[in-house]
A and B are shown apart, each in its own frame.
Chain A
Amino acid sequence: MPEGTGALREVLPKQGTGGEHRPALAAQPAARSRPFSPFTGQLSMEDTAAMVLCKPKILPLKSVSLEKLEKLQRAAQDAAQPPEAAPPPSAGAAPPRQ
């Protein structure tokens, strides 16, 4: 997941002039006086921090034991809930076993 360390905002002059005369790279590429640089023609550079998003979440897989535990807990909960009119589930609600 690519993420740069900060958002870069370049301020580029309109139409590449802004007072600077760019050499015309015309007929003879071999006769180019200076190497091409992406920053040619750039006036100023602003390093403004942007708000960050929280990252996408890879969900952890559950182990077999965990799934069985969850199933048991769910079954216990379901068993405990329906007999509400009946006397309270004695085994479940009793003080923790010593």
Chain B
Amino acid sequence: IQAAWNLKTRALTEMVYVDEIDMDQEGIADIILDENAIAQVARPGTSLKLPGTSQGGGPSPAVRPVTQSGRPITGFVRPSTQSGRPSTMEQAIRTPRTALTARPITSASGGYVRPGTASMLTNPDGPFINLSRLNLTKYAQKPKLAKALFEYIFHHENDVKNALDLAALATEHAQFKDWWWKVQIGKCYYRLGLYREAEKQFKSALKQQDMVDTILYLAKVYLRLDQPVTALNLFKQGLERFPGEVTLICGIARIYEEMNNISSAAEYYKDVLKQDNTHVEAIACIGSNHFYSDQPEIALRFYRRLLQMGVYNCQLFNNLGLCCFYAQQYDMTLSSFERALFLAENEEETADVWYNLGHVAVGIGDLNLAYQCFKLTLVNNNDYAEAYNNLAVLEMRKGHTEQARALLQTASSLAPHMYEPHFNVAILSEKVGDLQRSYTAAQKSEEAFPGHVDTQQLIKQLKEHFAML
């Protein structure tokens, strides 16, 4: 009967198991009230909070869209990439937090309630294991059962405290010689936000038994403590002991990407591909880098590879369509986009595809089609700032200044981190003679993207004008 119980427990856990290494949903409260930062003002290139200057080169915001945290769009999204590091409370609330909806999670514990309802899903008549009546000490003494039970409590029930109790008892029982329990305790501490304790546990587990997983967990702790350089060193040391380990190399590449060092990230992703040339994340990231570096044909090759591997979703076909168009392979373009539309699972994806179709339409000169595409984007997703901006540009071409201005207003309020709406407002205002507004808008554009030559020229012109008065 014990075996059956064991099996059922593990089966239930497996249903909702998400690799802890990836799981990293940070709640707003955790970010804003983060006391783990070591230095008040970090030196550039040492903190994940400040994207810093793009020291690693890579395409500028003039060519590559930028997310809310100021970082360029990446080729691959994981549970943890969702969390940018917003500087103000308002921005924090606006950033989409959950994987699906745009509603923010208020704190980490709140976020995990959702997955915790898994127990409700699997057992409508009540939980399989009643935690409050469990005698943890008894289970701690039976290591095999204890391990299955721990995983169940941790992943299925999301009850970190009980899990921690169990783990602590089990470790004691194993006389602190079992590295597995140390890692589990470390995971519990991580969930509870006790990062330094988690670090200790992982380090001691590493001393006992060198495992790649432990290295990954420890690196996660360092990243949460905003110590990317420590994490990088850890990975590099790990690579000495586990040469060629794909997860470690991938970890390094991700950190470089987070720090906006695109060229190093690309280098490491290439290393990943040398070791494992089916690694989806690396292929996707390198592909997007090539696309934005003006090499759509090479990007096309990468995305074609993904297709060969059997990846079959809306995003891939959208990217294929874009690359085909810009690589001048017009036969594939529209059918790829059609497939993308067919595969879109929700309205946000549909909006993205229509937006890119709008770009294709602009490229072929069919401005009516472009207009319709951008309008369709907005139908599917009312908050699509880029579509508003592009619609404004089209309206300007038709001469509808007031409408353009209204659209730009919406765009800039929806996405203050983008420089395009601000720049366009500046141009618009300058055309009609409203120089003051033009100047303020140009300032905002410069803030968002200091390297934009046209903005600088415009500001210079306006300054000369004002000096003359």
Interface residues of A (CB under 8 A from B): 1-3, 5-6, 47, 49-63, 65-66, 68-70, 72-77, 79-80, 89, 91-92, 94, 96-98
Contact = CB atoms under 8 A, between A and B. Distances in A.
A59 B352 contact: yes
Contacts of A65: 18-19, 22-23, 78-79
A18 to B, nearest CB: 27
A2 B159 CA distance: 53
A58 B322 contact: yes
Interface in B1-50: 16, 18-19, 22-23
Contacts of B454: 5-6, 49, 52
Interface string B312-327: 0111101100100010
Contacts of A58: 73, 75, 287-288, 291-292, 318-319, 322
25 contacts: A5-B62, A51-B392, A51-B393, A51-B424, A51-B428, A52-B424, A57-B352, A57-B386, A58-B322, A59-B318, A59-B352, A60-B284, A60-B315, A61-B77, A61-B281, A61-B315, A66-B99, A69-B23, A76-B114, A76-B117, A76-B120, A80-B117, A94-B113, A96-B109, A97-B157
Given A1-B291, A77-B100, 5 more contacts: A1-B326, A56-B356, A58-B319, A59-B318, A79-B117
Contact of A66 (B79, B389, B392): B79
A95 to B, nearest CB: 9
Contacts of B399: none
Interface of B: 16, 18-19, 22-23, 62-65, 73-79, 81, 98-100, 107, 109-110, 112-121, 157-161, 280-281, 284, 287-288, 291-292, 294, 296, 306, 311, 313-316, 318-319, 322, 326, 349, 352, 355-356, 359, 362, 385-386, 389-390, 392-393, 396, 418, 420, 423-424, 427-428, 453-454, 457-458
A56 B316 contact: no
Contact of A57 (B65, B99, B112): B65
A1 B294 CA distance: 5
A6 B390 CA distance: 17
A2 B18 CA distance: 41
Given A72-B118, A73-B114, A57 B159 contact: no
Contacts of B161: 98
Nearest to B66: A55
A77 B23 CA distance: 19
A42 to B, nearest CB: 21
Q: Top 8 A-B pairs ranked by shortest CB distance?
A: A54-B386, A59-B315, A65-B22, A60-B77, A56-B359, A92-B117, A96-B109, A91-B120
Contacts of A61: 75-77, 280-281, 284, 306, 311, 313, 315-316
Given A57-B73, A62-B77, A96-B110, A50 B427 contact: yes
Contacts of B78: 63, 65-66
Nearest to B355: A57
Contact of A1 (B110, B121, B292): B292
B101 to A, nearest CB: 8
Nearest to B321: A56
Nearest to B289: A58
A90 to B, nearest CB: 8
A72 B98 CA distance: 12
A75 to B, nearest CB: 6
A53 B420 contact: yes
Given A60-B288, A96-B110, A73 B100 contact: yes
| Residue with the highest number of chain B CB atoms closer than 10 Å, among A5, A58, A75 | A58
Nearest to A49: B454
A79 B74 contact: no
B187 to A, nearest CB: 15
Contacts of A77: 100
Given A73-B99, A98-B161, A56 B322 contact: yes
Contacts of B393: 51-53
A74 B355 CA distance: 25
Contact of B315 (A49, A62, A97): A62
Contacts of B313: 61-62
A53 B389 contact: yes
Contacts of B322: 56, 58
A93 to B, nearest CB: 9
| Residue with the highest number of chain A CB atoms closer than 10 Å, among B74, B78, B112 | B78
B172 to A, nearest CB: 23
A96 B160 CA distance: 11
A73 to B, nearest CB: 5
A42 B117 CA distance: 73
A73 B82 CA distance: 15
A69 B74 CA distance: 20
Contacts of B287: 58
B63 A3 contact: yes
Contacts of A66: 22, 77-79, 99
